[in-house]
Chain A
Amino acid sequence: MSIPQDLLYTKSHEWVRVEGDSVVIGITHYAQDQLGEVVFVELPVVGNAVEAGEEMGTLESVKAVSEMLAPLSGEVVEANEALEDSPDLVNQSPFDEGWLVKIKGSIEGMDLLDPQSYAALLEAEQH
Chain B
Amino acid sequence: MKRRAHRDEPLFFERNPKRRGRQGILLPTFDGPSTQPASVLPAEVLLDDRPLWPDISEMDLVTHFHRLSQLNYAVDEGLYPLGSCTMKYNPRINEAVAGLSAFNAAHPLQPDHQVQGVLEVMWELEETLKTITGMPGVTLQPAAGAHGELAGILMIRKALEARGESREIILVPDSAHGTNPATAAFAGFRAVEIPSGPDGTVDLQALDTAMNENVAAVMLTVPNTLGVFEHRIVEIAELVHSRGGFVYMDGANLNAFVGRALPGLMGADAMHINLHKTFSTPHGGGGPGAGPVTVSEALLPYLPVPRVVKTDDGFSMLWSGENSIGSLRGFSGSFLILLRALVYMRGMGGDGLREMSETGVLFANIIRKRLEGAYHLQYDTPTMHEVVFDDSEQVKNGVHNTDIAKRLLDYGFHPPTMSFPLVVHGALMIEPTESFGPEEIDAFCEAMLAIAKEAEETPDLVRAAPHETPVKRIDEVRAARNLKVRFVDEA
**A→B interface (CB under 8 Å):** 34, 36-37, 39-40, 60, 62-64, 87-88
- A34 CA to B423 CA, complexed, in Å: 12
> Out of A34, A39, A63, which one reaches B481, CB within 8 Å?
A39
The proximity string for B residues 449-491 relative to A, scoring 1 for CB distances below 8 Å and 0 otherwise, is 0000000000000000000000000001100110000000000
> Chain A residues with Cβ under 8 A from B477's Cβ?
37, 39, 62, 88
Interface residues of B in 420-462 (CB under 8 A from A): 420, 422, 425
**A-B interface pairs (CB < 8 A), number:** 21
Task: Write the residues of chain B forming the contact surface with A, with a CB cutoff of 8 angstroms.
Answer: 418-420, 422, 425, 476-477, 480-481
Chain A residues lying within 8 Å of B422, measured Cβ to Cβ, are: 64
Q: Which residue of B lies closest to A34 (CB)?
A: B425
Q: Which of A39, A40, A60, A87 has the largest count of B CB atoms less than 10 A from its CB?
A: A39
B480-A64 in contact (CB<8A): no
Alpha-carbon distance between A87 and B477 when the two chains are bound, in angstroms:
11
Is chain A's interface secondary structure helix, strand, loop, or mixed overall?
A: loop
Checking B420, B425, B476, B481 against A87 with a beta-carbon cut-off of 8 angstroms, the contacting residue is: B481
A88 proximity list for chain B (CB < 8 A): 477, 481
Report whether over half of chain B's contact residues are helix, strand or loop; otherwise say mixed. Answer: mixed
User: Is B476 in contact with A62, judged by CB distance below 8 angstroms?
Assistant: yes
Contacts of A60 in B (CB 8 A): 480
Minimum CB–CB distance for B384 against chain A, Å: 24
Contact call B481/A64, Cβ cutoff below 8 A: no
* Distance (whole angstroms) from the CB of B377 to the closest CB of chain A: 16
Q: Bound complex: CA of A7 vs CA of B85, how far in Å? A: 43
B418 contacts across to A, CB distance below 8 A = 63
Chosen A-B contacts, 12 in total, with CB atoms closer than 8 Å, are A34-B425, A36-B419, A37-B476, A37-B477, A40-B480, A60-B480, A62-B477, A62-B480, A63-B418, A63-B419, A64-B422, A88-B477
B480 cross-chain contacts in A, Cβ below 8 A = 39-40, 60, 62
List the B residue with the shortest CB-CB distance to A40.
B480
- Which of these, A39, A40, A64, A87, contacts B419 with CB under 8 Å? A64
Nearest Cβ on chain B to A62's Cβ, whole angstroms: 5
Which residues of the other chain, A, contact B425 by a CB distance below 8 angstroms? 34
Cβ of A112 to closest chain B Cβ, rounded Å: 22
The CA of A1 and the CA of B70, in the complex, are separated in Å by 45
Q: Which residues of B contact A62 (CB under 8 A)?
A: 476-477, 480
Which 4 interchain pairs have the tightest Cβ spacing? A39-B480, A63-B419, A37-B477, A62-B476
Q: What B residues does A37 contact at CB under 8 A?
A: 476-477
Contact A64 B420, beta carbon cutoff 8 Å:
yes
Please, how many angstroms separate the alpha-carbon atoms of A34 and B425 in the complex?
8
A85 to B152, CA, bound (A): 40
Q: Of all chain B residues, which has the CB nearest A60?
A: B480
Shortest CB-to-CB span from A72 to chain B, Å, is 20
In the docked arrangement, what's the CA distance between A87 and B483, Å? 14
Give A60 to B483 CA distance when docked, in angstroms.
14
CA distance A40 to B420 in the complex (A): 19
- A40 neighbours in B (Cβ, 8 Å): 480-481
Nearest CB of chain A from residue B78's CB, rounded to whole Å: 26
How far, in whole Å, are A37 and B480 apart by their CA atoms in the complex? 10
Known contacts A36-B419, A63-B418, A63-B419; can you find 18 more A-B pairs with CB under 8 A?
A34-B425, A37-B476, A37-B477, A39-B477, A39-B480, A39-B481, A40-B480, A40-B481, A60-B480, A62-B476, A62-B477, A62-B480, A64-B419, A64-B420, A64-B422, A87-B481, A88-B477, A88-B481
Give Cα A23 to B481, complex, Å: 29
A3 to chain B, nearest CB (A): 19
Cα–Cα, bound, A33→B420 (Å): 16
Point out which of B420, B422, B481 has the most chain A C-beta atoms below 10 A from its C-beta.
Answer: B481
Closest to A85 in B: B481
Please, how many angstroms separate the alpha-carbon atoms of A64 and B425 in the complex? Answer: 11
Chain B residues lying within 8 Å of A36, measured Cβ to Cβ, are 419
Instruction: Give the most central of A39, A40, A62, A63: most B CB within 10 Å.
Output: A63
- The smallest C-beta distance from A69 to any residue of chain B, in angstroms, reads 11
Whole-angstrom CA separation of A88 from B482 in the bound complex: 12
